[in-house]
Amino acid sequence: MKFRDGMWLVAEGKRPEYAEEVYSLTSDDGKAMSLLCPTRKIFQRSDSLNLPTLSVDLRAEFDGAISIEVTHWQGAQNPGPHFDLYPEGKPETRNTKITTTDTTTTLSSGSISATVKTAGHDFDIRFHATNGSQKELTSLLNRSVGFAYSPAPSNQMVTGNMTNFQHYIFTQTTLSVGETVHGLGERFGAFNKVGQTVTLWNADGGTSSDQAYKNVSFWISSRGYGIFIDAPDKIELEIGSERCCRVQTSIEGQRLKWYILYGPTPKEVLQKYSILTGRPGNVPSWSFGLWLSTSFTTNYDESTVNSFLEGMKARDTPIEVFHFDCFWMKAFHWCDFIFDSKMFPDPKGQIARLKSSGLVKKVCVWVNPYLGQASPVFKYAASQGYLLRRRNGDIFQWDLWQTGMGIVDFTNPNAIKWYVSCLEKLFDTGVDAIKTDFGERIPSEDVEWFDSSDPKKMHNYYAFIYNKIVYEALQNRFGANEAVLFARTATAGTQRFPLQWGGDCESTPEAMAESIRGGLSLGLCGYSFWSVDIGGFEGYPPPWIYKRWVAFGLLCSHSRLHGSNSFRVPWLVDDNNKSEQGCSRILSKWTALKARLMPYIFSQAQESVRLGLPLSLRAMCLEFPDDPTCWYLDRQFMFGDSLLVAPIFEESGEVEFYLPKGRWTNFFTTGEETRDGPGWFKERHEFNTMPIYVRQNTILVLGQASETRTVYDYCKDVQVCLFQTMPGAKSSLVDSEGKLVGVLEVGDDGNLRDQEFLHGSWHVTKKETLASR
Q: Is 437 a catalytic residue?
A: yes
Distances (CA, A) of 189 to 192, 198, 636: 9, 10, 15
Number of CB atoms found within 10 A of residue 315's CB: 19
Cβ atoms 72, 52 nearer than 8 A: yes
| Active-site annotation holder among 17, 186, 268, 437 | 437
| Active-site annotation holder among 236, 454, 504, 623 | 504
CA distance 250 to 256: 8
CA distance 200 to 184: 8
CA distance 127 to 135: 9
Query: Residue 200: which of 513, 527, 610, 490 has the closest Cα?
Result: 490
Estimate the crossing angle of helix 583-596 against helix 543-553, to 10 degrees. 10
CA distance 574 to 583: 7
- Please give the helix or strand (H or E) that residue 511 lies within, else none: helix 509-523
In 160-244, at which residue ranges do the beta strands (DSSP E only) sit?
A: 166-174, 181-183, 196-200, 218-221, 225-229, 235-239
Q: Is 29 a catalytic residue?
A: no
| Active-site annotation holder among 440, 482, 574, 634 | 440
CA distance 607 to 109: 27
Number of CB atoms found within 10 A of residue 772's CB: 14
Beta partners for residue 674, in sequence order: 665
Beta 104-109 vs 112-117: how paired, if at all? antiparallel
Cβ atoms 170, 143 nearer than 8 A: no
CA distance 534 to 546: 7
What are the residues whose beta carbons fall under 8 Å from the beta carbon of 10, sequence distance 6 or more?
A: 3, 4, 16, 152
Instruction: Compute the residue count for the chain.
Output: 773
Cβ atoms 414, 386 nearer than 8 A: yes
In degrees rounded to 5, what are phi and psi of residue 735?
Answer: -90, -175
Beta partners for residue 370, in sequence order: 407
Q: Is 504 a catalytic residue?
A: yes
Side-chain half-sphere of 624: how many Cα atoms within 13 Å? 22
Cite the active site residues.
437, 440, 504
